[in-house]
Amino acid sequence: MITGKTKIYAIIADPITQVRTPEVFNALFEQKGLDAVLIPVHVGVEGLDALVEGFRRMKNLGGFIVTVPHKSAIAVICDELDDAGRLIGAVNTVRREEDGKLIGNMFDGLGFISGLKSQGYNPCGKKTLLLGAGGAAGAIAIALAEAKVATLTIANRTPEKAQNILDRVAQNYPELPLSLGAPDPKGYDLIINSTSLGMNDGDSLPIEPDLLSPEMMVAEIIMKPETTALLAAAKKRGCSVHYGRHMLDEQIRLMAEFMGVRA
């Protein structure tokens, strides 16, 4: 039951229908007995500044989650960034202080690595191909370096964006072999799709599935559909697969605590 005392949280995205965050957070609120609700907000780039200004003025707003394509833009709008958000230059969680100040941080990377480990896969020592160069990719790249992958290659349609992430990683992990590459999975142990390709029917695949082989792990960060076309193709090739929901499941606690959610 939503009342006048209900604490409001939100997730912003474009598109929005694929997100699982409302189901997960609202189940958490119910489990903890909290008078709180998280709602989906569909906003494009052109409406982002106006929406955030409205959020600043909402005195019953505790914070909001950020996903595609707004993670980098919101980092610029925030008043302060915690360590991960500042290092990556993107955020996926924002806390609203009582005075309207917005504090952002990024939990995608930690959530992704924790998700892999929760399913029994340790990325340490793995030759890794990361597809995409958005906000989530930046966070995952830093987390992969922290997890001590053997090598890290990033492939993206805009090479400059991928290089920017590689430069950030190199500044903090100079010993890790880094490269800008093509979306070719041959020779890699772990292939991660951090692009939005796979959210919609008819999307092209981010890699050529015939190049996959059974010893590879293919991982998604897309939540819906749970089994993307890429994962379905990887299964047919005998690969191990890792679902996007594991990243969200593992970072929910961190995101909730950051926004001040208390049992």
Active-site amino acid positions: 71
Structure tokens at 82: 């915690």
Q: How many CB atoms neighbour CB 147 within 10 A?
A: 21
Please answer whether residues 24 and 50 qualify as being in contact, where contact means their C-beta atoms are separated by less than 8 angstroms: no
Please answer whether residues 231 and 218 qualify as being in contact, where contact means their C-beta atoms are separated by less than 8 angstroms: yes
Phi, psi for 81 (deg, rounded to 5)? -125, 135
Radius of gyration of the chain (CA): 18
Output helix, strand, coil percentages for the chain, rounded to the nearest 5: 40, 20, 40
How far is residue 34 CA from its own chain's centroid?
A: 26
Q: Which residues contact 106 (CB under 8 A, 6 or more apart)?
A: 71, 84, 85, 88, 90, 91, 92, 93, 135, 139
SS3 258: helix
CA–CA gap between residue 178 and residue 202 (Å, rounded): 32
Closest CA to 187 of 222, 158, 161, 151: 151
